[in-house]
């Protein structure tokens, strides 16, 4: 399905123009085909997803192993600007969800469900808050609603980012200078990958994954929980720069290939597992709220994120990535950048800044904003 998605994304004019990621195309196509088989032929599919999460760890380890600290230092100001654009957005996203829920005569908490709880927080945060909402507010079926909202947001985030970035790039009219090497979100460009280089890169990536999981397990239960994939990224970054200090350089092109493939396979696997019947059945009025959130995300990316981040090519790529994790997940944001940079050129600062923000800072900001909105009697009541 990934190969079919890539074929269609390159050759269907509409998909190519808006830089729709190949994993989104292939995964949704499979979900639609299995829905038709189930409805009209009575053939149902079960999927084994036990190894899917490992692909995400491989991807983030690859990002760390191709990130130069000098590049990270140069991206520091962009990281701060991105955070400045993000925090007020979280407040606006939840405020819009609550207002639209009240207009539709729904419980205000359902506005948070179709807000940053599931759109920025994803399935994991949604599941955690669903249990709390069911206990505190007596809402029936809230778990299904959170999973549905997170799923729809994931799809919208993957479709929205490419058109937003593309329109901004056409507006500025200037593209980055051609480069001989690719990056982890754009894929390798020029140099061939040999068996030896791939073996060394895979050994380094697996070492970062194993070490990252070990550190995450050792620190589990602490005051602040850091996701294991962020540890994989950080350990990969340390490993890359320590080896560079002693004049040992890892093969970047092979590492980029591993990361790009792992992310693509993870995302197409996720899309293939969508139960479209459940999504449509459970959505109901949430679709109206999510439509409003989509408009907010697109406008915020174009007007706020693009301007605060510098109004340049990197800012345009970051705006598309913002659509990914503001409506879906960090993996969707990276897939958006991958699709855009394949067409227009590398954006090295963005692919360092966006994963760090999406993996760590956004969760802390989201927790603070949700804590405020859930103060008893202040906004949503009890």
pLDDT along the chain (382 residues), means of 10: 89 76 84 88 82 83 78 70 91 93 87 88 70 73 74 85 90 61 45 85 95 87 64 87 86 86 82 72 79 94 92 91 85 84 83 73 78 70 50
d(CA 18, CA 340): 9
pLDDT at 19: 65
Q: What phi-psi label fits residue 21: left (phi over 0), alpha (psi between -120 and 50 degrees) or beta? A: beta
- Tokens encoding 27: 């995964």
Can you tell me whether residue 346 is helix, strand or coil? coil
Q: Please indicate, yes or no, if residue 13 is contained in any of the structural domains.
A: no
* Residue 377 structure tokens: 């009697």
pTM of the model: 0.68
Is residue 76, in this structure, part of any structural domain at all? yes
> Does residue 18 belong to any structural domain of this protein?
no
Q: Which of 255, 273, 379, 266 is nearest to 331 (CA)?
A: 266
- For residue 228, the model assigns a pLDDT of 77
Q: Could you give the number of structural domains in the chain?
A: 1
Token pair recorded at residue 333: 């944001």
Q: Tokens for 189?
A: 């460009």
Residue 4 lies in a domain: no
Give the integer Cα–Cα distance in Å for 281 and 143. Answer: 14
359 domain-assigned: yes
| Inside any domain, residue 190 | yes
In this structure, the chain runs to a length of 382
Q: What is the 3-state secondary structure (H, E, C) of 22-70?
A: HHHHHHHHHHHHHHHHHHHHCCCCCCCCCCHHHHHHHHHHHHHHCCCHH
Q: Is residue 132 part of a domain?
A: yes
Domain that holds residue 210: 53-373
What b/e readout covers 265-304, taking b as 16+ CB neighbours within 10 angstroms? bbbbbbbbbbbbeebeebbebbebbbebbbebbbebbbeb
Residue 187: phi and psi, rounded to 5, are 90, 160
Tell me how far CA of residue 264 lies from CA of 61, 110, 159, 267, in angstroms: 15, 32, 15, 5
Of 327, 328, 335, residue with least CA distance to 294: 327
From CA 303, how far away is CA 321, in angstroms rounded?
14
What distance lies between CA 27 and its chain's CA centroid? 16
d(CA 98, CA 74): 39
Instruction: Look at residue 183 and give its three-state secondary structure.
Output: strand
Q: How far is CA 114 from the centre of its chain?
A: 17
CA–CA dist 27, 57 (Å, integer): 20
Burial label, 134 (beta-carbon count in 10 A; 0-12, 13-18, 19+):
middle
In this prediction, residue 185 carries a pLDDT of 42
139 Cβ neighbours under 8 A, 6+ residues apart: 107, 109, 110, 133
Q: Bridge-partner residues for 183, per DSSP? A: 187
Distance of CA 131 to CAs 46, 134, 279, 377, Å?
A: 26, 5, 20, 20
Q: Is residue 293 part of a domain?
A: yes
**Measuring CA to CA, how many Å separate 73 from each of 63, 78, 215?**
16, 10, 25
Which pLDDT does position 176 carry in this prediction?
58
């Amino acid at each position: 399905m990934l190969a079919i998605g890539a074929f269609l994304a390159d050759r269907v004019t509409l998909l190519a123009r808006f830089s729709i990621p190949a994993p989104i195309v292939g995964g949704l196509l499979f979900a639609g085909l299995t829905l038709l088989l189930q409805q009209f032929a009575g053939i149902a599919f079960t999927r084994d997803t036990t190894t899917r999460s490992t692909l995400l760890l491989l991807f983030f380890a690859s990002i760390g192993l191709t990130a130069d600290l000098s590049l990270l230092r140069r991206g520091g100001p962009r990281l701060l600007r991105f955070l400045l654009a993000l925090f007020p957005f979280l407040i606006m996203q939840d405020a819009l969800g609550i207002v639209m829920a009240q207009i539709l005569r729904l419980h205000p908490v359902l506005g948070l469900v179709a807000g940053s709880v599931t759109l920025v927080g994803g399935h994991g945060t949604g599941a955690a808050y669903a249990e709390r909402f069911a206990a505190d507010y007596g809402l029936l079926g809230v778990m299904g609603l959170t999973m549905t909202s997170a799923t729809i947001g994931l799809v919208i985030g993957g479709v929205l980012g490419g058109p937003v970035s593309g329109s901004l790039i056409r507006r500025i009219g200037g593209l980055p200078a051609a480069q001989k090497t690719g990056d982890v979100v754009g894929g390798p460009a020029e140099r061939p990958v040999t068996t030896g280089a791939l073996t060394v890169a895979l050994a380094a990536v697996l070492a970062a994954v194993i070490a990252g999981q070990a550190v995450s397990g050792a620190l589990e239960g602490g005051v602040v929980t850091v996701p294991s994939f962020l540890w994989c990224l950080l350990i990969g970054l340390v490993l890359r720069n320590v080896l560079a200090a002693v004049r040992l350089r890892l093969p970047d092109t092979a590492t980029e290939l591993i990361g790009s493939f792992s992310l693509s396979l993870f995302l197409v696997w996720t899309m293939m597992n969508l139960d479209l019947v459940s999504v449509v059945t459970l959505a109901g009025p949430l679709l109206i709220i999510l439509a409003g959130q989509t408009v907010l995300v697109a406008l915020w990316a174009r007007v706020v994120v693009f301007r605060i981040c510098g109004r340049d090519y990197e800012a345009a790529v970051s705006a598309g990535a913002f659509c990914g994790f503001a409506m879906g997940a960090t993996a969707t944001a990276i897939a958006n950048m991958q699709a855009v940079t394949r067409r227009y050129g590398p954006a090295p600062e963005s692919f360092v800044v966006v994963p760090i923000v999406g993996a760590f800072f956004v969760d802390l900001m989201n927790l603070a904003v949700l804590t405020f909105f859930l103060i008893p009697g202040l906004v949503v009541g009890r």
